Amino acid sequence: MNPSIVLSVVIGLFLLAGVRIVFEYKRAIKFRFGKYIKILQPGFRWIIPIVETIQVVDVRVITINILSQEVMTEDNVPCSIDGVVFFRINNPEKAVLEVEEYKFAISQLSQAALRDVCGKVELDIILSKREEMGKNIKGIVELETKEWGIEIIDVKIKDIQLPENMKRMMANQAEAERSRRARIILALAEEQAAGKLLEAGKLIDQSPSAIKLRLYQTLSNIAAEKNSTILFPFPEEVLPVKTKRTKKKN
């Protein structure tokens, strides 16, 4: 076999072995004999085989679940809380060189911060102010990850599991609160209705004609039932009639 052909094949394989494609949403950390050289931007890249290696880092927003944590709140209520962390790598060099397995490190930091934050407040605050709890956890985590070239975008509390007896107590409390509100609304309605009836009564007292109209309306409603018999215990003329008084002119 022609030595020049063999040499060409070897050189071709050598060149192909060093070809790397870096996607737009990633960055490649280049090492030469284990020493950091530079960050490779997206596109077609070539490295020296065997001599140089790369480590690819995703620079998109990444999510990590915070595993369910057993937390004892300030008012001594045990509960299980989990969440999710959103972060982005701003400096791939630091994310690779400053911390080993940054995803695992962020997960552990988030779990510890969740227990610390939720353990210092009462259960009612955790249930009603999840957004605020998430911001407090984010503040603790980003203090550490800032040195790693990582930006914590947000932390959300997803689920809060309570003991069964606590769920029953909260359900009873909610039912009692709904009953209290219903009674208050009913009392206000009765008060308003009584006021309107009082005003209507005063208007009717001022006009005997209104009394007759009301009487006719009642009779009409009663007459709608065909099996009803209406008896008048007194003639209509007995109803009071307002008469005008005339003053004698001197």
Q: Of 238, 191, 233, which is closest to residue 212 (Cα–Cα)?
A: 238
pLDDT of residue 86: 96
The structure tokens listed for 123 are: 């259960």
pLDDT tens digit sequence for 193-215: 888 777 777 766 666 666 666 66
Rounded Cα gap, residues 54 and 36, in angstroms: 9
**Whether residue 115 has pLDDT greater than 50:** yes
**Whether residue 66 has pLDDT greater than 50:** yes
Q: Which residue has the higher pLDDT, 206 or 152?
A: 152
Can you tell me whether residue 151 is helix, strand or coil?
A: strand
**pTM, whole model, 2 decimals?**
0.65
Confidence tier at 231 by pLDDT (50, 70, 90): low
* Residue spans of beta strands (DSSP E) within 90-206: 150-161
Rounded Cα gap, residues 106 and 100, in angstroms: 11
pLDDT tens digit sequence for 139-149: 999 998 989 99
Query: Cα 59 to the chain's mean position, in Å?
Result: 27
Can you tell me whether residue 176 is helix, strand or coil?
A: helix
